[in-house]
Structure 1
Amino acid sequence: MIHLLGIRHHGPGSARSVLAALHTLQPDCILIEGPSDADALLQHVLDPAFVPPVALLINTPIQKQERPQAVFYPFAEFSPEWQAMRFAAQHTIHVRFMDLPCQHGFAIDSEWQAKMAEQAKQEQAKPDPDAALPDAAHSEVLADIDRIDPIRLLAEAAGYQDSERFWEHLVEQQPHAGNVFELVGDAMQAVREHIESQYSEAQQQSYAYYREKLREACMRKALRQAEKDGFQNIVVVCGAWHVPALRELKKTQKDDNALLKGLPKVKTESAWIAWTHGRLNRDSGYGAGIESVGWYAHLWKHYTQTPEGQAIDAEKISIDWLSRFAHALRQQGQDASSAQLIDATQLIQALLSLRGRHLPDLDDLQEAIVSVLHHGYALPQPVLDQLLADEKLGQVPEALQNLPIQQDFAQQCKSFRLKLEAPHKTIELDLRVAFDLAKSQFLHRLKLLGLQWAALENYPKGRGSYKETWTLSWQPENSLFLNEMSVWGNRVDQAAQALIHDQIQHVDDIAILARTIEGILLAALDDSLETALLRLDALSSQQHDPVLLIQALNPLANAVRYGSVRPFNPELLQQIIHRFALRISLSMPLHCQNLNDEVAVERAKQLDQFYQLIDLLDDAELRQAWQSLLVKLLNTETLHGYLQGWCCRIAREQQLIDDAQARTRFSHALSSGQTPEYSAAWFEGFITQQALLLIHDDTLWQLVDQWLLGLSELQLIELLPLLRRTTSSFSHPERQQLAQKSQHGHSVQGKQQGLEALNQARSQQVLAVLQQWLHLPRDQDLPARQADTQEQTV
């Protein structure tokens, strides 16, 4: 006898009903929706080291030339399929998967993609570029078919606006097992007939429709094989959508055999990997997902704590969820008292009585939280997301990590006390400590491999380079990526070394190669360093663009500073840095000629970056090369005004010219002999972010004042946007000081000159009156007064 249990993937109520049905039916064979080429992995589900969520990974063999095809079949603890697997293993019941093998699915996918690519190529060769592809509608049909939600149609028929709440009330909150599966199957039968009756001919010829027919034919074939193998009491656990297609086995046998005959296939590999709750959502690649994983996990916990045959305690479900939310609110510094929890619980019980339900759903709980705990305000989204996501990472037994690189990775994570966790976690490393240095090298090797697990947050900008901050967040696809890297070596360091060596041989961009060299030093892959440096030297000798050389110099300059905390011989690296700096110094003047305004500003930024790198390296020879470059640019008369002004300011700061020379150049640039455009550009290059010069240097202030007063009205209007852009780099207090200074109409020096021009005769008369008022001695009385004072002292 065949029992069809139509479920929703990852549903706690479905899982509970499946377990109840299995206890009642006591089958001798259980067939589960899943790829039949992963049957060998079912024997491991009872391993105590398994901690859901986990997933089946099926992929094609790993090759260096291209990424493998792969598909995941995830299972949470409350997934009906997972509970059926464990039940079969616990009761020694034969269990197998019944879906289309991935060895056929991958091959069919490849053939279809090749067919579509060929059609696109033929269409591009046609004279009419607007002509549609013959099967272009099929891709739209594929999306339309995938978007059909049968549960949504049932929910609308039942008067629900939310399919999630409908399915939760109908199945997930109900303790029944009995004929619920027959009722669900009948409902799906009606839905399928309604949907398929509306399919057009093009839809029935689409790839999505064909793929679904293949899957259901394979499921029916597996059922017939189970009967042929002598099993008498067979239970099928599959998505409710497929139940109607599995009811008729004899009528469809001939068509199924014809459909499945001669299918292409490829070689596949399978493994268990850890999964996360965050991936069990509606967009999950495996069938139906769920929006509120945390809520379903909460329901499952209470379902499993309730003995068989007893009613589920609705009040306990409410109190537990409210307590978790209150705890999260308190962590955010918000109020959530015990009295409020009691009031919210009573409100939920009243709502359930009014709505005629036994168990609360998520809407009931959120209404009570908003009304009582949060005083009518909208719920804080971070707290709500944290509870609904309930992010956690499953675990897979180490014995099932078959590839050597997986074992090496797990061993190093254990030795460095790094846990694979889905939530983001920040760690700080002190590279002066040997343990932290080794941990940093391990993380940098993973980064070179391309594993998206650890991200380096802060990057040292100054001369200190002994601190690192990393953010760790493990995602399921990292397991697949780690498998792919096994083609490069059996250990993490070997794989990183081989991959980097291959990249060095094929890279032609010196900036990319320079960043790779920096990564090699950070990861302590010394065997690849000399090869990379020689390759970089060869590429740079063919490169004459100083801008690209500056981009490459940046990571190299950072790398050379690591010698204090990362032991390596920097001699060859320093030689290449010197050659880079000298080439930049020699070629930059030529690349600063005939520039427009935008490129001139960009070139000044690149020169400033070059100067910062020279200053960081703190090398006398390189500093001399930089100063020679600056002086040469400063004396180039055809240089763009912005660059001339910028070079003048930097030369003044580095004391290559004195203040008098700087004022002379300033005066010349703003003189009437120059065009207003040139003067404005020179002024912008000199003054940008240098408001203090104008505030404290009165000579420069007078030069600017005279230049502005000498502009005609039309010239001032044309230059006003540029001047406004220049002054926008000043801070608000600096702009206020400049405004106050401009209101006086003259400089501090002018005030002092005015005091010197006072009438001395008239001032003496005023001083005589003040001396009488204040009883001060007059100038002629001072010697007599001083003599009297000396006699008294004696």
Structure 2
Amino acid sequence: MASEPLLLGVRHHGPGSARAVRRALAAFQPEVVLIEGPPEADALVPYAGDEDMRAPVALLAYPADNPDPKLRASFWPLAEFSPEWQAIRWAVAREVPVRFIDMPASVRLANPPAGSDSTDPEAEEAGAVEAAVRIDPIGALAEAAGYDDPERWWEDVVEHRFADPVRPAAPAPAAAAVEGVDEGVDEAVVADASGVMGGVGLFAREADIDEEELRAAAAPFEAIAEAMGVVRASAPRPPEAEAVDEERREAYMRIGLRGALKEFERVAVVCGAWHVPALTGPLPSASADAAVVRGLPKIKVSMTWVPWTHARLASWQGYGAGVRSPGWYHHLFTSVDAHVIERWLVRAAGVLRRDGVPVSSAHVIEATRLAQALATMRGRPLAGLAEVTDAARAVLCDGDELRLALINRRLVVGDRLGRVPDQTPGVPIAKDVAGSQRRLRLPPRVERRELRLDLRQAFDLDRSRLLHRLRLLGVEWGKVLAAAKGKGTFREEWEIAWQPEFAVDLVEAGAYGTTVLEAATARVAEQAASAATLADVTALVERCLLADLPDALPGVLDALDERMALDADVAHLMDALPALARTLRYGDVRGTDLSALRDVTFGTITRICVGLPAAVGGLDDTAAAVMRDRIDGVQAALALVDDAEAHERWQGVLAGLSTRDDLHGLLTGRMNRLLLDAGAVDVDEIGARMALVLTVGVPVARTAAWIEGFLAGDGLLLVHDERLLALVDAWLTGIPGDAFLEVLPLLRRTFSGYPVPQRRMIGERAAHIGTGRRGAEADEDLDPARGALLLPVAARLLGRELHV
């Protein structure tokens, strides 16, 4: 007859639970380890022992035949301090089989857990509390006992009551290894850090079980199992859908446990503490459990390991409980000696010093003393996260919450990113991305960093192509910084930051192809066919060129021709032109043949010039503002097009429209300003036109709109042209009081957009209109003798000889 299994009820992602699990496994020496998780992951267990595998990682399950992971994908995240992860690592190191016994992913993805349909706020609140208890029952018990940290409660109430009175000292190599803890935790260091191995060799297997050690190691789990039995007995029944889902999960666990007990004598089970009562005592019959899971829909799924981060672990609401302080838990689990608090505060001081905050060793010593004193006052045997946080706030941060937030972000949560071996199974496109990242020296990192690219260099051009192609596939690894505009077409500046969920986006992109180039090409073709507007197609042309997809470009251009032939709306053509112009400009840089696109672009310009006169008439204030922006967009686009005939045609259209009285003042004012900037009319002509508008017979609202359109952008024109400034000043000072209130919002909107120095200079010039004196310097009399003293210095600076 098989022996009773060792049931290890844990708190998911708990360092105290992880240490206790390692101790219990070492004492029990199981022949098989069963873990709460999807059985499809059994084949992935060996990869957990690879030397290139570094937690945090996650098991990813997704539909294999028709990937749609944004809607139906499941993660099972694991950190270094997760009990399940330590159980897997322990078993793999000793070649002990590992099996997952939770509901299969094929069933879970086909039958997503249903939430409560209750609309009663009190019922919803009660359901949320019940869900929190079921997800993290140990956290609920800790909160009931007055603890803010479930791991502190676990250690104070459970582990410390059964731990060995003398903790073995860590060997020197392990103590030294703590300095490299952020680069991965060595297996031996973790074993030493737990301090509860009881002399069992790390890779050796004891022939005989030490019954006394086993009783000591199992005692905490027996206590927590008893507590969970009480909690489950008194907890209200959850909504029917959730109850059914839990019943099915625990039926699968019992089925897996029965199967293991038929094959092995010593079986260890690592599962959430909530489920332990369902695996003990009088169990339902095998036929009853089989009936619960019989006939459930299934789909074909694939599974793999993907990197995860501490930040995502802190916010994740999927498998197990979320962890508010993964960085702190990682520190607790990997610390190799008794100086846990001291080492943490040293690291906190390092974070502040790297940010320019002066923190000395004296601050660390005082913060350590304060944390220990707070623990004593609060009746705790050792300082916890609450104590070190309060000590850091008071001593290291001087009460500054922003500095404390920096420590919380970088240490308490952290930006640690896991790693999986190259040979880990996965979608081909993900492997292609990983290979490109290595080839282009773009390692996936969580922290945000800027990337400056020179597109004249082949290496940087390949980097740009990869980032643009991934964006087309919905993988927003990088975004082009707006500040990079205006620095030439040879430059690109990116901000890049890798996120774990990109693994799901790559799974979805895998439906389009096995490589990034192939998938991006297919994705662009699909988007071109489904584009709703002409502007969507032109934007796609630009993105297609930036991503260098030559096979996709002809199809996109065909879609552009079709849309342009069917779309007679001038506004749509104006929206489409800027992207076409940018595409031509980038094409010159990237060496792409865009003769077909050039014909389309010039045809668009011609159609805009022909249709604009009819499109600008009869517009109200809102429509005129939109049309003004479109006209500005066309003007900016033409600046990128090297074609004198197109420029001449566009300026001819603006010249004909700029003097029409039936157009909105905002448009005519803007057209006159564009003509002045382009040199098509001189300042004298503009002065005459402005004088005609700024007359008593013209309605004040129309005049204000004309001024807004003409002056929008910057105020340099008024700074350097005193005649135009005098015209505007005379008109403003002559507006009647009642009419002035009407146009004030328009004027304020216009002038408030100018930079402060320009507004100050305009004010100084306006104060001396008609006096012939300029600015504040006009109040000072010039002294020729003093000025003569500066002439020799100025001559030397200019490299000229001074002739008197």
Q: Output the TM-score relative to the length of structure 2.
A: 0.82
Count of residue correspondences: 715
Q: Quote the offset at 1:607 in angstroms.
A: 0.9
Alpha-carbon distance between aligned partners in 2 of 1:473 and 1:439, rounded to the nearest angstrom = 14
Q: Which residue matches 2:58?
A: 55
Q: What is the Cα deviation at residue 355 of structure 1? A: 5.1
Letter in 2 for 1:317: V
Please state whether the residue corresponding to 1:380 is helix, strand or coil: helix
Q: How does 1:268-279 map to 2 (within 5 A)?
A: 268-279=301-312
- Distance in 1 (CA, whole Å) between partners of 2:312 and 2:331 is 17
Counterpart secondary structure, 1:447: helix
Amino acid at match of 2:22: L
Q: Which runs of 5+ in 2 are unaligned?
A: 164-216, 775-804
Is 1:507 the counterpart of 2:531? The answer is: yes
- Among 530, 534, 538, the alignment partner of 2:562 is 538
**Structure 1 residue 290 corresponds to structure 2 residue 323:** yes
Aligned to 2:95: 92
Give 1:341's aligned residue.
364
CA pair 471-461 structure 1, distance change in 2 beyond 3 A: closer
Residues 134 and 561 from structure 1, CA distance in 2 versus in 1: closer, same or farther, beyond 3 angstroms?
closer
Q: Partner residue of 1:106?
A: 109
CA contact (8 A) 1:61 1:68 kept: no
SS of the aligned residue for 2:112 comes to helix
What is the CA distance between 1:437 and its match in structure 2? 1.4
Alignment partner, residue 345 of structure 2: 322
Q: How many Å apart are 1:528 and its aligned residue? A: 1.6
Out of 280, 285, 290, which is 1:257 matched to?
290
CA deviations 1:528-558 (Å, max 9, x no partner) are 2122112212211222223322222212211
Taking the aligned partners of 1:461 and 1:570, their CA distance within structure 2 comes to 22
Structure 1 residue 629 corresponds to structure 2 residue 617: no
Query: Following superposition of structure 1 onto structure 2, how do residues 558-569 of structure 1 map, counting pairs within 5 Å?
Result: 558-569=582-593
Counterpart of 1:555 in structure 2 is: 579
Q: Residues 672 and 686 of structure 2 are in contact (CA less than 8 Å); yes or no, is this contact kept in structure 1?
A: yes
Of 133, 141, 145, 1:158 maps to 145
Matched, 1:191 2:231: yes
Shift of 1:366: 2.4
* Range that drifts further, 727-736 or 591-600: 727-736
- The alignment partner of 1:333 has SS state of coil
Aligned to 1:474: 498
Give the partner amino acid of 2:612.
M
The residue that corresponds to 1:672 in the other structure is 696
Instruction: Look up the match of 2:253.
Output: 219
Give distance in 2, aligned partners of 1:744 and 1:402.
Answer: 74
Shift of 1:319: 2.1
How far apart are the structure 2 equivalents of 1:226 and 1:571? 69
Instruction: Tell me by how many angstroms 1:299 deviates.
Output: 1.1
CA distance in 2, matches of 1:162, 1:22: 25
Q: Which residue of 2 aligns with 1:438?
A: 462
User: Secondary structure in 1 aligned to 2:476?
Assistant: coil
Q: After the TM superposition, which of the residue ranges 455-464 and 553-562 deviates more from structure 2?
A: 455-464
Instruction: Tell me, yes or no, if structure 1 residue 409 matches structure 2 residue 449.
Output: no
1:146 maps to amino acid: A
Paired residue for 1:146, among 131, 134, 141? Answer: 131
Distance 2:396 2:118 in 1: 58
User: Residue 30 in 1 paired to residue 33 in 2?
Assistant: yes
Relative distance call for 1:736 and 1:475 in structure 2 (3 A) is: closer
Deviation string 1:214-256 (CA, Å, 9 cap, x unpaired) is 11122122222222x2422221111111111211343454543
Residues 617/83 of structure 1: CA separation in 2 closer, same or farther (3 Å cut): same
Please show how residues 31-46 of structure 1 align to structure 2 within 5 Å.
Answer: 31-46=34-49
Q: Aligned ranges for residues 2-13 of structure 1 at < 5 Å?
A: 2-13=5-16
Distance change in 2, residues 1:20/1:534 (3 Å): same
Distance 1:517 1:48, change over 3 A: same
Match of 2:168 in 1: none
Range that drifts further, 675-684 or 731-740? 731-740
Mapped to 2, the partners of 1:629 and 1:298 lie a distance apart of: 70
Q: Cα RMSD between the aligned structures?
A: 3.0
**Structure 1 CA distance for aligned equivalents of residues 224 and 146 of structure 2:** 17
1:593 aligned to which of 599, 603, 617: 617
Which residue of the partner structure matches residue 373 of structure 1?
Answer: 396
CA distance, structure 1, for counterparts of residue 34 and residue 675 of structure 2: 81
Correspondence for 2:242: 208
Q: Is the 8 A contact 2:62 2:69 kept in 1?
A: no
Contact 1:75–1:81 under 8 Å retained in 2:
yes
Determine the structure 2 residue equivalent to 1:396.
Answer: 420
Contact 1:5 1:236 in 2 (8 A): yes
Q: What amino acid maps onto 1:267 in structure 2?
A: K
Equivalent residue number for residue 119 of structure 1 = none
Counterpart contact for 1:13–1:171, Cα < 8 Å: no
| Alpha-carbon contact 1:165-1:361 (below 8 Å) kept | yes
Which of 656, 671, 682 is matched with 1:647 structurally?
A: 671
Name whichever of 350-359 and 79-88 sits farther off: 350-359
Identify which range, 57-66 or 640-649, moves more after superposition. Answer: 57-66
Cα distance in 1 for partners of 2:303, 2:109 equals 13
Identity of aligned residues (%): 39
Task: For residue 42 of structure 1, give the secondary structure of its aligned residue in structure 2.
Answer: helix
- Between the aligned partners of 2:258 and 2:249, the Cα distance in structure 1 is 14
Q: Return closer, same or farther for 1:740/1:356 CA change in 2, 3 Å cut-off.
A: closer
Cα distance between partner residues in 2 of 1:423 and 1:83: 27
**How far 1:8 sits from its partner (Å)?**
0.6
**Which residue pairs with 2:446 in the alignment?**
422
Do the aligned partners of 2:372 and 2:382 also contact (CA within 8 Å) in 1?
no
Task: Output one character per residue of 1:375-398: Cα deviation in whole Å (capped at 9) or x when no partner.
Answer: 455443123310112212211111
Q: 1:572 aligns with which of 591, 596, 600?
A: 596
| Change in CA separation of 1:133 and 1:734 when aligned onto 2, cut-off 3 Å | closer
> In structure 1, what is the Cα distance between the partners aligned to 2:729 and 2:373?
79
Q: Is 1:231 the counterpart of 2:264 in the alignment?
A: yes
Deviations 1:117-164 (A, max 9, x none): xxxxxxxxxxxxxxx999999988765542345335423442335656
For 1:79 and 1:355, the matched residues in 2 are separated by 28
Letter in 2 for 1:88: A
Q: Offset at 1:456?
A: 2.4
* Bigger Rg, structure 1 or 2: 1
Q: CA deviation at 1:694?
A: 4.7
Within 5 Å, which residues of 2 pair with 1:118-133? none
Number of the residue aligned with 1:785: none
Q: Aligned residue for 2:85?
A: 82
For 1:194, give the aligned amino acid. S
In the aligned structure 1, how far is the partner of 2:737 from the partner of 2:361? 74
Partner of 1:127: none
* Distance in 1 (alpha carbons) for counterparts of 2:540 and 2:277: 57
Secondary structure of the 1:487 match is: coil
Which 10-residue stretch deviates more, 16-25 or 450-459?
Answer: 450-459
Q: Distance in 1 between matches of 2:287 and 2:509?
A: 44
**CA shift digits 1:43-77 (9 cap, x unpaired):** 33222221111111111124278866210111112
Give 1:615 deviation, angstroms. 1.6
Offset at residue 414 of structure 1 (A): 1.6
Read off the aligned partner of 2:309 and give its amino acid letter. Answer: T
Structure 2 CA distance, aligned partners of 1:109 and 1:432?
50
Distance 1:144 1:677, change over 3 A: same
